[in-house]
Amino acid sequence: MDYHELGEEKGEVEIQLTEEGKKDPLFSILPNHFSAYVSHQQTEIVLPENAQVLARNNFESFHGISFRENVWGVQFHPEFISDSLCDTIQQNPYGVALLKRFYELAV
């Protein structure tokens, strides 16, 4: 992990699923393009050999990854349901859907 060469990514951003993400048991419940909230300056530089990239955008190559069939990581913040970082009241349903699906897979 290191600081991102482009600086900070903050606010509501568009993210795209990769082909692996479209087939993943967790990420496949999301649309191919979805919005999410972010606030980060750091990024992974090199992923482990067995990691798969599930979601990305033009700024961040690793917004969603998996390491095994039941281990995931995200760079965006699915726990945000409105963007307090940008003073908007718009609600974002995708983070809630992702967290609910994670719970279903975990139990």
Q: Is the pLDDT of residue 94 over 50?
A: yes
The helix (H) or strand (E) run that includes residue 56 is: strand 52-56
Q: Are 29 and 97 in contact (CB under 8 A)?
A: yes
Residue 53 identity (one-letter amino acid): V
Angle at CA of residue 93, ends 90 and 82, nearest 5°: 35
Alpha-carbon separation of residue 41 from 23, 58, 84 (angstroms): 29, 15, 18
CATH assignment of 2-106, given 3.40.50.880, 2.60.40.10, 3.40.50.1000, 3.60.21.10? 3.40.50.880
Reported as a single tens digit per residue, the pLDDT across 20-35 is 999 999 999 999 999 9
Give the tokens for residue 59.
Answer: 């700024």
pTM reported for the whole predicted model: 0.84
How many other CB atoms are found less than 10 A from the CB of residue 1?
8
- pLDDT (average), residues 72-80: 88
- Domain positions in the chain: 2-106
Q: Provide the pLDDT for residue 82.
A: 55
